[in-house]
């Protein structure tokens, strides 16, 4: 069972600067779908990465398959995929966002996920991220979001 609330509470308590992207953001923006993990893009400043490193250690996180982590470092432009005691968590580098982290965070909307407040990326930023990947699952998310909203930002009228 996924305990998204506990993982989000840990991110908040550790004062990690993050914004939710991926499946949870798709759901919070009105599309009907399931998700098995938290996707959180984080600010890449040294202080935030230090707090993240400490949290990954407190979580005793492993690779998603349960093997030990080779590194707890988040590479610029990369993803750190984790299995925590609460759920799977993918930490994304801010370089994967469609705009600078602070801009994406400023446009985010704080909503509750399983009762815990979390910044959810804006609809326009989510669509831009999904369009940029070209993955089949993201194309399906775009279809679901378009159905839920009657179109997407940047679509022809």
What per-residue confidence (pLDDT) applies to 97? 96
Going by the DSSP 8-state scheme, the letter that residue 96 receives in this structure is G
pTM of the model: 0.95
pLDDT band for 3, please (50, 70, 90 cuts).
Answer: very high
pLDDT band for 155, please (50, 70, 90 cuts).
Answer: confident
Q: How far is CA 5 from the centre of its chain?
A: 14
Inter-residue contact 73 to 50 (CB < 8 Å): no
Inter-residue contact 144 to 32 (CB < 8 Å): yes
pLDDT band for 134, please (50, 70, 90 cuts).
Answer: confident
Give dist(CA 79, CA 97) in Å, integer: 12
pLDDT band for 154, please (50, 70, 90 cuts).
Answer: confident
Separation in Å, CA 67 to CA 20, 63, 81, 116: 25, 5, 12, 29
Q: How does pLDDT run across 56-79, given as a tens digit for each residue?
A: 999 999 999 999 999 888 988 999
Residue 47 has φ and ψ, to the nearest 5°, of -65, -45
What average pLDDT does range 79-98 have in this prediction? 97
Inter-residue contact 91 to 79 (CB < 8 Å): yes
Give dist(CA 141, CA 146) in Å, integer: 8
Please list the alpha-helical segments (H only) found in the chain: 4-13, 23-28, 46-59, 101-107, 123-133, 136-149
Give dist(CA 98, CA 95) in Å, integer: 8
What per-residue confidence (pLDDT) applies to 84? 97
Q: How does pLDDT run across 6-51, given as a tens digit for each residue?
A: 999 999 999 999 999 999 999 999 999 999 999 999 999 999 999 9
Q: How many CA atoms lie within 13 A of 131 on its CB side?
A: 13
């Amino acid at each position: 069972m996924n305990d998204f609330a506990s993982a989000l509470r840990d991110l908040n308590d550790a004062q990690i600067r993050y914004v939710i992207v991926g499946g949870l953001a798709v759901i919070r923006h009105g599309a009907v779908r399931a998700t098995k993990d938290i996707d959180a893009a984080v600010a890449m400043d040294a202080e935030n990465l230090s707090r993240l490193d400490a949290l990954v250690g407190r979580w005793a996180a492993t690779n998603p398959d349960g093997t030990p982590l080779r590194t707890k470092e988040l590479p610029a432009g990369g993803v750190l995929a984790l299995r925590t005691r609460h759920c799977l968590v993918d930490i994304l580098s801010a370089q994967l966002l469609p705009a600078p982290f602070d801009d994406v965070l400023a446009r985010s909307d704080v909503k509750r996920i399983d009762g815990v407040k979390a910044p959810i990326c804006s609809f326009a930023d989510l669509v831009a991220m999904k369009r940029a990947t070209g993955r089949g699952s993201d194309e399906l998310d775009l279809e679901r979001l378009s159905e839920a909203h009657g179109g997407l930002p940047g679509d022809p009228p």
